[in-house]
Structure 1
Amino acid sequence: MTFIPRIALIVGSTRPTRFADKPAQWMLKQAQARDDMEVELVDLRDFSLPFFAEKASNMWAPSQSPEAVRWQQTIGRFDGYIFVVAEYNRSITGALKNALDQAYVEWIRKPFTAIGYGSVGGARAVEHLRLIGIELQMVPTRSAVHIGGVDFMSVSPMGANKPIEDIEANLLPSAKAALDDLVWWARATKAAKAG
């Protein structure tokens, strides 16, 4: 029987006026249309994570915060991740960085991809996320989805606020590549861990 990886699509912005829901719902639809993965939306708004204040990461000491433990248990159920990444001042959001820091054991040797957005498609934030992921012993995929420039201004509330389907043709090739990479790496890391 072929292993079907469980994937979390993590919404990395918690602002009340966030744009993240539009790309998150679009990416969720792309992932759910496939038969080689199971995907679940995980929204950071649903967790009241404190700022990281533990003695150490949970690699070295159990977390004391019940909300951090709930977060760890939630993300630990998955074989891979898709991050919805807003670019804030050339990096990821503080909420996403804090969520990444609240776990360690759960991220190890699991792959991730991203859908980033902003003036340059969230490219700098996605690159920063990849560096953080490497430190957490994750497997960043090469492919990601970037919504930037004219496409971003076309679908953003700061611009024309059109439906994301208006730019879908520009996003579908990278979404397919990103999800193909994610499934391949989820299967590879699962097999390696089992062996």
Structure 2
Amino acid sequence: MTKIGIILGSTRPGRNGEAVAKWVLDIASKRTDAEFELIDLLDYKLPHLDEALPPAMGQYSNPHTLEWAAKIGSFDGFVIVTPEYNHSTSGVLKNAIDYLFAEWNNKAVGFVSYGSVGGARAVENLRLVAGELMMADVRAQLALSLLTDFENYSTFVPTERHEQVLDTVLDQVVTWSEALAHLRQPVAA
């Protein structure tokens, strides 16, 4: 069965992303075409990138990197829930992504973002990063506005329209994850 990780890309106290990510998991868990798991960056104590060699070399030495690589390597695709900070994503999410290379390759990624303009600029930054990591970013995106989709900028209030857009994101991530599966498996000689 295809495995999709839902990455919660904020560790800020009082983060809006926690409610959003749990809602994404709740909606996704009703599906039968893939297995979904929440990956909370709070559970991975990744200091600012501290590996001596570039991630593309795949020679990780620190236990926290090895744990992170095993977790990310176990998935076929991802939905990243990202805030927008200063026209980009969170530093903790970018750092977590930068730790690895091969574990991201040939996997699909979709985005659920939030911010003053729906987190659109954070996702545009992440799409560039995804391309460098040989990830297939799907076209659909759920962009949530702090002004209209959160009460008092802090309580997430999803609507039926949000669920419909999320279903499209999930459809595309699962389909592309399955389509890329042959690239992730060793070719028989």
> Do both proteins adopt the same fold according to a TM-score greater than 0.5, normalized to the shorter chain?
yes
Deviation at 1:69, TM superposition (A): 1.1
2:30 pairs with 1:33: yes
The CA deviation at 1:74 is: 0.7
Q: CA deviation at 1:192?
A: 4.1
SS of residue matched to 2:139: coil
Who is 1:46 aligned against?
A: 43
Residue 180 (structure 1) aligns with: 171
Q: Which has the larger share of helix?
A: 1
Alpha-carbon distance in 1 for matches of 2:166, 2:63: 35
Taking structure 2 as the reference length, the TM-score comes to: 0.92
Say whether 1:169 aligns with 2:160.
Answer: yes
- Which letter maps to 2:137? P
Please tell me whether residue 67 in structure 1 is matched to residue 58 in structure 2.
Answer: no
Aligned length: 186
Q: Judge conservation of contact 2:147–2:153 (CA < 8 Å) in 1.
A: no
CA separation in 1, counterparts of 2:91 and 2:183? 33
Decide whether aligned partners of structure 1 residues 66 and 149 sit closer, same or farther in structure 2, where only a CA change above 3 A counts.
Answer: closer
1:122 aligns with 2:122: no
Are the equivalent residues in 2 in contact too, given 1:121–1:152 (CA < 8 A)?
no
Q: Distance in 2 between matches of 1:69 and 1:25?
A: 26
Cα offset, 1:115, TM superposition: 0.7
Q: Is the 8 A contact 1:113 1:140 kept in 2?
A: yes
Contiguous gaps of at least 5 residues in structure 2: none
Offset of 1:65 from its aligned partner? 1.6
Alignment check: 8 A CA contact 2:138 2:172 kept: yes
Cα distance per residue 1:125-171 (max 9 Å; x no partner): 011111111111111111111111542343732xxx3x52xx32231
Identity of aligned residues (%): 36
1:30: Cα distance to partner?
A: 1.2
User: Residues of 1 paired with 2:177 and 2:58: CA distance?
Assistant: 27
In structure 1, distance between residues paired with 2:49 and 2:151: 37
For structure 1, the residue ranges without an aligned partner over 5 or more in a row are none
Deviation at 1:66, TM superposition (A): 1.0
Q: Which has the higher strand share?
A: 2
Distance 1:19 1:176 in 2: 21
Within 5 Å, which residues of 2 pair with 1:98-113?
98-113=95-110
CA-atom RMSD in angstroms: 1.6
Alignment check: 8 A CA contact 1:5 1:36 kept = yes
